[in-house]
Chains A and B, each alone.
Chain A
């Protein structure tokens, strides 16, 4: 950009109170809720895991399962292959359990301060929930504080509850499926999660049921010096359908907090699971201080023929994102989809993408990834498309586009394609470009200021992914991008 143009932008800012206000807008969800919490002391060892398991009144097999995962974790090295720069994580300095002191029996008893928190975040937990028509499970630090619409869902035969409850009330289902998609020793962070996961959501859609409403979990890290380790398990039996949304925020703190979640999806014959995420963990400030380290393992298993799993993610938060929602397409003619928008600004780093493992015949997958980098950030797409020998007639299409805003950011693409079947077709395309001066000039000549022009162009760039999001989420995602990009131009 020319000096003259930067001057213009500067003047524009000075003279326009709205712009000044917009620029000073920051991470909106960065407040801390002053609430009494119960927490385990910092540190990680077998005693802590036993204490955690006891606190949650878990059965013996669950405690053993955790310990086994922990022992495996001890033997694993921290992965270093991602394009990320991070300071070493001190796993002994983290408290692995924090929960609000007054545990509510039902939603009506939930601490008003907590309700206020979710209100501020715009998550409908109470009366508004009815209007919104979305069932919500709210996870505050380590525990679920409430799940809405339970009765209505139960009538349809749907189980939607926190993981802790599921372990107590539906142990047979949990035992049958937990760890079958992401085994305890799958990777470093999955092993850690298996050992110390505190809560999460459990969804079971029985055979032939179309879940009557969208299900949603809202994750909030509040307490300092803690990590969040949630575990989500979604099972859709034959011909079942569910759409699940996930949102996350955290307060602004100078420390880096760890979030290591595991999500497992199981789709049986003709079942379909749609999983949408809007991830807005605290990204750190403009100097790269603080922010969440987000190390997540998400995997869906299309076990049945004609099943479908679709991942949609909008990633705007976290100091570090390490996340590869994947599909194992085991059933014949099963379908995997991955739609992603990842935006990084300031010093954020994202290394995200997907894996599509084609095992069954006639399996299809589609990957659309949009990366936007601004400031001094680094944004990488890393993906694997693997066609196994037996995946007769498999088909994949991948499109990866990167948009650069500014001279000091990086955008990277690391796709892997491994094809072992001659009837398969795999295609990958990627482009990298910046917002062109022509596009900007056109918008500005129509009277749009630079910020708005950029936000409009970015919105257009992401449209293909936003289209896949449920409506409320699409609106939120668009707003998030706008806020996250503020100050990126000029």
Chain B
């Protein structure tokens, strides 16, 4: 018996598939159908699935979502309210996974930058996308990756030409707004940086008004040799929305990727980051904070694989769980046989602020090479009593002292963000979610 979740999404699948961009391309149709069949066959990951141990999907299984939003193109969105300080370059806006040319800003793209919605890229020249879109049958694929591969309506295709240095940050904005039904939308992004290219990308999820939509997003990010990507993520979905994301990163020789991520919104939000450092000298730095409160469940899952020699990764993630919030963190580092000279570090520190909140953290090391430096650490606890005492001895009231220390604890994830205006803004957004900021209920 298929669950209501699967049944609702698979209903009218043939019509839905026929309406998708690129329908009629034999390879794409075949790939979509194959993924749909796998989704219907296996359903959602069960309770015994280790990758979903701490994120139960039983409640989701009983819910039905309407596949796609027919009115997405006409829904009102106040774009000015969603601008980010210091980010006025090219902008791509999707509402419920549907591209909105009227809200986007794609004029006068800098030289070397190609930025289009997937729907357009499929019409103009689908062949370069074939590698990404016909894949998806990988061993770790689950219901959400399959749903996405079968039904993704649109997404961003971003390419930077070899050697091009793009200064203005690209703003990828995805918005959810209230609707009559609980909707399911799916976005598929592809980012490719040519040799020696560099780019700043701001991935922004915003929820305007209360709603309970389900969004899935799959991104492929390919960094060719010596390219550099600064990636800033701000996830502020509606507090009851569901967002399941999977980022697949591939770093070639001497490529560098720095991610700064804030996970603030969503009733259930999960981010999976699969990174493969497959060229010698590649480097991946990830920093992030997740701040569940209310009944939020925020799940972050890093899977960092060092395949080539002399690669480095450094991960620093902070979690603060308040009220009935639940923070889940999984950070796995794998060093493959032959990946000598790997330098890998991962740290996840968490604060638990309420007797009803929960933190589950699992740092993992899998090492198959011996010329390696690998370390991880994880803690769950409270604010340092001595620091608190110090602040109080300086005349700062206890609540203010707690708030200050909690803010400092989280902001460590933003400390080395170079973009000053964004660093300030993200810091404010983060602080606004923390207790003592005056905005929490």
Q: Which listed residue (B50, B368, B369, B379) contacts A427, Cβ 8 A? A: B379
Q: A412 to B365, Cβ gap below 8 A? A: yes
Are A404 and B370 interface neighbours, CB within 8 A? yes
Contact A425 B363 (CB under 8 A): no
Q: Find chain A residues with CB under 8 A from B54 CB.
A: 418
Evaluate whether A424 and B352 lie within 8 angstroms (CB atoms) in the complex, with A413-B376, A416-B362 already known. yes
A420-B358, A422-B352, A424-B381 known; A411-B365 Cβ under 8 A: yes
A422 touches B360 (CB 8 A): no
Judge whether B366 and A410 touch: CB under 8 Å: yes
Chain B residues, Cβ within 8 Å of A405: 370
Q: Which segment of A22-30, A429-437, A453-461 sits at the interface?
A: A429-437
Question: Is the pair B382, A414 in contact by a Cβ cutoff of 8 Å?
Answer: no
Question: How far, in angstroms, from A414 to B366 measured CA to CA in the complex?
Answer: 8
Name the contact of B371 in the complex, choosing from A412, A419, A428, A434 (C-beta under 8 A): A434
Is residue B438 within 8 Å, beta carbon to beta carbon, of the partner chain? Answer: no
- Specify the chain A residue showing the minimal Cβ separation from B374: A432
Q: A81 near B377 (CB under 8 angstroms)?
A: no
B27 to chain A, nearest CB (A): 36
Whether A434 contacts B372 by the Cβ 8 Å rule is yes
- The answer to the question of A407 belonging to the interface, with a C-beta cut-off of 8 Å to chain B, is yes
From residue B114, how far is it (CB to closest CB) to chain A in Å? Answer: 42
B326 CB, nearest partner CB in chain A, Å:
10
Q: Is B437 interfacial (CB-CB < 8 Å)?
A: no
Out of B353, B365, B373, B379, which one reaches A430, CB within 8 Å?
B365
| Distance between Cα atoms of A414 and B330 in the complex (Å) | 10
CB closest residue in chain B, given A413: B365
Question: Does B378 lie within 8 Å of A417, measured CB to CB?
Answer: yes
Q: Is B133 an interface residue (CB 8 A)?
A: no
B408 adjacent to chain A (CB < 8 Å): no
B361 CB contact (under 8 Å) in A402, A417, A424: A417
> Does A415 belong to the interface (CB within 8 Å)?
yes
B381 and A426 within 8 A (CB): yes
Residues of A within 8 A of B354 (CB): 422
A409 within 8 A of B: yes
- Tell me whether A187 is interfacial, beta carbon within 8 Å: no
| B379 shortest CB reach to chain A, Å | 5
Check A81–B50 contact: CB distance below 8 A. Answer: yes
Q: Is A406 an interface residue (CB 8 A)?
A: yes
Contact status of A422 and B357, CB under 8 A, knowing A406-B370, A413-B376, A429-B377: yes
Q: A418-B358, A420-B358 are in contact. Are A426 and B380 (CB under 8 A)?
A: yes
- B361 surroundings in chain A (CB, below 8 A): 417
Q: Are A430 and B381 in contact (CB under 8 A)?
A: no
- In the bound assembly, the distance between CA atoms of A409 and B337 in angstroms comes to 9
Chain B residues with Cβ under 8 A from A415's Cβ?
A: 362-364, 378
Tell me the complex Cα distance, A305–B355, Å.
23
Residue of A nearest to B359 (CB): A419
Chain B 415-431 interface residues, beta-carbon cutoff 8 Å to A? none
Number of interface residues of B (CB under 8 A): 36
Q: Are A412 and B377 in contact (CB under 8 A)?
A: no
CB of A37 closer than 8 Å to a CB of B? no
Tell me whether A421 and B360 are in contact in the complex, defined as CB-CB below 8 angstroms, given that A407-B369, A412-B365, A434-B370 are known contacts: no
Query: By the criterion CB–CB under 8 Å, are B367 and A404 in contact?
Result: yes
Q: Tell me whether A433 and B373 are in contact (CB under 8 A).
A: yes
**Smallest Cβ distance from B242 to chain A, in angstroms?**
23
For residue B355, give the distance in angstroms from its CB to the closest CB of chain A. 6
Closest to A420 in B: B358
- Contact, CB under 8 Å: A417 / B380: yes
Which of chain B's residues has its CB closest to A401's CB? Answer: B375
- With both chains docked as a complex, state the minimum distance between the C-beta of B349 and any C-beta of chain A, in angstroms: 9
CB atoms of A419 and B377 under 8 A apart: no
Least CB distance from A275 to B in Å reads: 27
Asked if B365 and A428 sit within 8 Å, CB to CB, the answer is no
CB-CB under 8 A from B338, the residues of chain A are 407
Do A402 and B367 touch (CB < 8 A)?
Answer: yes
In the assembled complex, the Cα of A95 lies from the Cα of B50 at a distance in Å of 35
Give the residues in chain A near B337, CB-CB below 8 Å: 407-408
Q: Which residues of A contact B372 (CB under 8 A)?
A: 404, 432-434
B380 touches A419 (CB 8 A): yes
B420 CB to closest chain A CB (Å) equals 34
User: Does A423 reach chain B (CB closer than 8 Å)?
Assistant: yes
* Contact indicator B382/A425 (Cβ below 8 Å): yes
B353, B366, B378, B380: the one contacting A424 at CB < 8 Å is: B380
CB of A413 within 8 A of CB of B381, answer: no
- CB neighbours (8 Å) of B366 from chain A are 410, 412
**Distance between Cα atoms of A389 and B357 in the complex (Å):** 10
Closest 3 pairs between A and B when the two form their complex, measured CB to CB: A425-B381, A404-B370, A419-B380
B interface residues, Cβ below 8 angstroms from A = 50, 54, 337-338, 340, 350, 352-355, 357-382
Sample (6) of A-B pairs whose CB atoms are under 8 Å apart:
A410-B366, A415-B378, A418-B54, A418-B358, A418-B360, A422-B352
What 7 new A-B contacts, CB under 8 Å, besides A406-B370, A419-B350, A429-B377?
A408-B337, A409-B370, A414-B362, A414-B364, A423-B382, A427-B378, A428-B363
